[in-house]
Amino acid sequence: MTTPESMPLQKPAPRVIAVIDIGATAVRMEIAEVTSDGDIHIIESMQQAVHLGKDTFTRHTIQQATIEECVKILRGFRRVMEEYGITDPKQIRAVATSSVREAGNRDTFLDRIYIATSIAVDLIEEAEETRLTYLGVQDLLARDESLSQGDVLVVEVGGGDTELLLVQDGYVSYSNTYRLGTLRMRETLETRYATSEQMSATFLRHIELMVDQIKRSVPTQRRPILVAVSGDARFAAEHLSKTWRSSYMVRLEVGDFTKLARKVSQYSVDELVKKYRLSYQEAETLGPALLGYAELAKVFDIEKLLIPKSSLRHGLLREAVIGSGWSPLFADQVIHSAIALGHKYAFDERHGRQVADLCLKFFHELRSEHQLGPRYEMLLHIAALIHEVGLFINNRSHHKHSMYIILNSDLFGLNHHDMQLIALIARYHRKAPPLPHHEVYNTLDREERMIVSKLSAILRVADALDRNHMQQVREVSFVRRAGTLQVFIHDVEDLTLERIALKEKGSMFNDVYGMRMILETGTPNEGMISDV
């Protein structure tokens, strides 16, 4: 007899989701099933050509006709989504990149799309694009052993910009966005009346200058592997590899790739449309993009290119599986990027890690008071790691120098607003507390100002507990009594320096959390109260 206990458990039905990428030359959509195990199966792919990049990079505004063309495309996508049962907004993620981001009428564009289609489009920053690109190739990097060691350059030459990630021994150590975009080049360089040969030569000279800048900025001393992740690169894979259709990735000889790039760049746009059956928008970007990859391979002395079937949309799908993106793996990558930044400015890594570890202990203990989620825990962690990078400039006012360095730096996966908050938290690890007239702080709303105060107060007391930079304070316990937070320091007998530092820095903690902090030696059962 079969009992309910003996019956096999049925797995939940896969959920169906759609992701949409509004790019410079096309609007693209992937519809996929996501299983309870996190597997992704793409069941529909669609794309329609648009002139967004041409509008933005020449006129700095999106023409009304282009807006209505996008509305028409997305209405069509909406009908397809409904056929698959995708009706809940939570099943849809739509993003727009530089061709919308840089348009003067971007808000008008986004509002019109939403009113006409009920699709809410997120205007993502460059850092978010880079993060999604990484998520798109993350499985590839883990699957291929040759990519888990050494240096890997993940590059997407797009219509507006070139996204670049340097992954060293499995960790993202550098990321940046460069103004090397295929449509941006075509629309800004004087090529309107040039022959195909003249245009190719003009593109090549411009690409050589830009790639030389990239080479100087990318911190690699080893010959990297180049992973190219754009539609133009996939065109090359389709024409140079017999196994492309059946493979998740192909390896191409740089020599063969370069020959194709130079051949394609000699054709006019009309010739490319006829010869390869491309859309006009695809034909406009193909030559410059392939030349860009070929020149990158040349300057980095690369012999083979890897081209996967990955894109920003695959990153969006992967994000749908892991959630907001603040997963442990993502956090690990951000931390590694912050440490790489710290090394650039000769920071004391042991002190930074010690203060960060103490910050996290206080953050968890005070969760009921600050009521902040994992995102802010990560921002505090990063701020604590690099709060003293300003010492690279000068010891005097180094907290302000730290703020300046962080504001003018990029960390993988973090947007400009994240960097602002990190910079302010680091800035207030010493000296004056936040004041309304302070630069950058005065641009925040009330809620964000409170967040900076909550996290800076924690950073101050954590920094005080490593005043001598000797990492003596390891294990701590907490006891709350009558408006005080007693912090028991295990296995440290002399806390003189820490108590002096806490006297200097503890007042902000008292003001923000309404508790006076007391340091004690030993454990809660044996400790002796030693009032600060």
Q: For residue range 208-233, list pLDDT tens digits in order.
A: 888 888 898 888 888 999 999 999 99
* High-pLDDT (> 70) share of the chain, %: 94
* High-pLDDT (> 90) share of the chain, %: 61
- Superfamily for 328-530? Hypothetical protein af1432 (1.10.3210.10)
- Alpha helices (runs of H) in 84-177, residue ranges in sequence order: 98-101, 106-117, 126-143
CATH for 15-124 is 3.30.420.40
Band of residue 33 on the pLDDT scale cut at 50, 70, 90: very high
Residue with tokens 């063309």: 69
Which pLDDT value is given to residue 6?
A: 57
pLDDT tens digits for range 254-265? 999 999 999 999
Task: Please give the angle made by the CA atoms of 16, 245 and 321, to the nearest 5 degrees.
Answer: 25
Cite the residue boundaries of each domain of the chain with CATH code 1.10.3210.10.
328-530
Sequence-separated (6 or more) residues with CB below 8 Å from residue 365: 478, 485
* Nearest CA-CA partner of 203 in 291, 87, 300: 291
Contacts within 8 Å (CB) and 24+ apart, 503-511: 503/532, 504/464, 505/430, 505/460, 505/461, 505/463, 505/464, 506/460, 506/461, 506/464, 506/532, 508/428, 508/433, 508/453, 508/456, 508/457, 508/460, 509/457, 509/458, 509/460, 509/461, 511/433, 511/457
State which H helix or E strand residue 427 sits in: helix 416-427
* Nearest CA-CA partner of 175 in 120, 131, 224, 241: 131
* Nearest CA-CA partner of 495 in 464, 516, 526: 464
Cite the residue boundaries of each domain of the chain with CATH code 3.30.420.40.
15-124
Written in H, E and C, the secondary structure of 10-25 is CCCCCEEEEEEEECCC
Give me the count of residues in the chain.
532
pLDDT tens digits for range 89-124? 999 999 999 999 999 999 999 999 999 999 999 999
- The class level of CATH for 127-320 reads alpha beta
Give the pTM: 0.82
Using a 10 angstrom Cβ sphere, with 0-12 exposed, 13-18 middle and 19 or more buried, the burial of residue 246 is: exposed
Residue 37 to residue 42: CA distance in whole angstroms: 15
Please give the order of strands across the beta sheet that includes 162-168. Answer: 171-178, 162-168, 151-157, 225-228, 304-308, 249-253
Mean pLDDT, rounded, for 414-438: 94
